[in-house]
Amino acid sequence: MAADRAPESTAQDAVVRRDLAVRAAVDQGLIGGGDGDEPLVCLLDVAGIRASAAALTAAFATALPAGTPVLHAFAVKAAPLVPVLRLLADAGLGCEVASPGELALARAAGVPPELTVLDSPAKTPAELREALALGIAVNADNAQELARLDALVGSAPTRSPLGLRINPQTGAGAIGALSTATATSKFGFALRDPGMREWLLAAYRDRPWLTRLHVHSGSQGVPLARMAEGVRELHALAGEINAAAGRRQVDTLDIGGGLPVDFTSDAGSPTYAEYVGALRAAVPELFGGAYGLVTEFGRSLLARHGLVVTRVEYTKASGGRAIAVTHAGVQLATRTVYVPEAWPLRMLAYDAKGTPKEGPPVVQDVAGPACFAGDLLAAGRALPELVPGDLVVVPDTGAYCFATPYGYNSLPRPAVYGFTADGPAVRFALVREAQGAASIVAEAGGGQRDALL
């Protein structure tokens, strides 16, 4: 994507690719009508993902002095799919991992240890030993974890960059469950607690191998100014540590991720450039080149570039409300179903051939297949009237949705395809196979059928 292209232009390009992909998915049999044809498929826009990665790297590169070390580490939890991690690695990104499973995915994708960061509030001794043996960067979350690192660093040399995660206690955003910088957050060292600042200065003074500081105060529902406030607190603490040490002990600041996504339209705001602008306003010294930077974006890189495409199986009415029953629900859009006011998703109507559907709007529910009443992708949504065989397309689902399915009702994980559009021609590449019944049985202990007899 050219750096000077208008956001409106790129958003329109994405809409064109989306329509082409839905039609091609029907034409190529990835989704279709009844009699055993696939009723659900998930799609990833490869060009869109590459454009997001390019926008991220460009936003910081243009603001920093040439040669400033920067690692953009994708938060694997947002889309734990090996081909996605491989694609992002090809675009120059590393991985931020928060579990042994995520680390295994990053390694399977070929992401090198020096481009990997381990964050978790519950790292085991085995996880820490593995990370230090590989040379993976580690951000310790608490004093007890730091004591474990003391023992490990003392027993064996490591090339891992090591640091501490702070909680700047700058306040919550609109979604409490995702707000990591509250006064009582479970994450990091609580910077404003009595005595904590002095404790941190002593911790760094006594451990010359602590060379990083980490903060992650952003997330969905957190405004840019509050995100920037957390980074300002991090930068100030780094300066105090280095002044106390009389040298540049802290050389890298990991500023986390959490750029929110606007799920109400195809517009791309806030952008990475807007976030960098907020940072430059709040803490201009961050861009002086004194520190290397690490970012950990996830949702903002992938959400826009995923589609759920599901067939309308039945339509009905209850209490005067039209209802379209589909195959996509809580197993994919878990947050939307359980907390719809915080995680609304758009619904787009297409006909059975994959063409955007027109017609007068009808207020209707878009329901999922799970056996509880609240399994609704949307309630009371005005759409062209849906009929059996139509398709409902749910955009903005590339992160924390079909990539991280929920096993309600033992509903199978759907197939995921990446797509590229060369003019009207669309090519699909399988990212994850659809889950079969044998896999569901195996996960449910089928191989140990008589274990409890």
Note the pLDDT tens digit of each residue in 386-410. 999 999 999 999 999 999 999 999 9
**96-124 pLDDT tens trace:** 999 999 999 999 999 999 999 999 999 99
| pLDDT for residue 35 | 62
| Mean pLDDT on 235-244 | 97
**187-218 pLDDT tens trace:** 888 898 999 999 999 999 999 999 999 999 87
Pair type for strands 252-254 and 210-215: parallel
**pTM, to two decimals:** 0.94
| pLDDT for residue 183 | 74
CA distances from 226 to 153, 221, 252 (A): 35, 10, 21
Q: Are 106 and 85 in contact (CB under 8 A)?
A: yes
CA dihedral 64, 66, 67, 70 (to 10 degrees): 30
| pLDDT for residue 170 | 77
Residue 3: pLDDT over 70: no
* Continuous H helices in 190-342: 196-206, 224-245, 272-282, 299-302, 334-338
Give me the phi and psi of 177, to 5 degrees please.
Answer: -65, -20
| pLDDT for residue 33 | 66
Neighbour-count burial for 429-444, b at 16+ CB within 10 Å, e otherwise = eebbeebeeeeeeeee
User: What is the rounded average pLDDT for all residues in the chain?
Assistant: 93
* Strand runs labelled E in 271-360: 292-295, 306-318, 321-326, 348-350
As a whole number of angstroms, the distance between CA 345 and CA 364 comes to 15
**Count of CB atoms situated within 10 Å of the CB of 85:** 25
As a whole number of angstroms, the distance between CA 403 and CA 414 comes to 9
Q: How far is CA 96 from the centre of its chain?
A: 10
Strand partners, 74: 95
As a whole number of angstroms, the distance between CA 42 and CA 78 comes to 15
Q: Are 255 and 235 in contact (CB under 8 A)?
A: no
| pLDDT for residue 171 | 67
CA distances from 59 to 12, 250, 254, 350, 388 (A): 21, 24, 16, 36, 45
Amino acid at 414: P
Q: Is the link from the previous residue into 270 a cis peptide, with omega within 30 of 0?
A: yes
Q: How confident is the model at residue 34 (pLDDT cuts 50, 70, 90)?
A: low
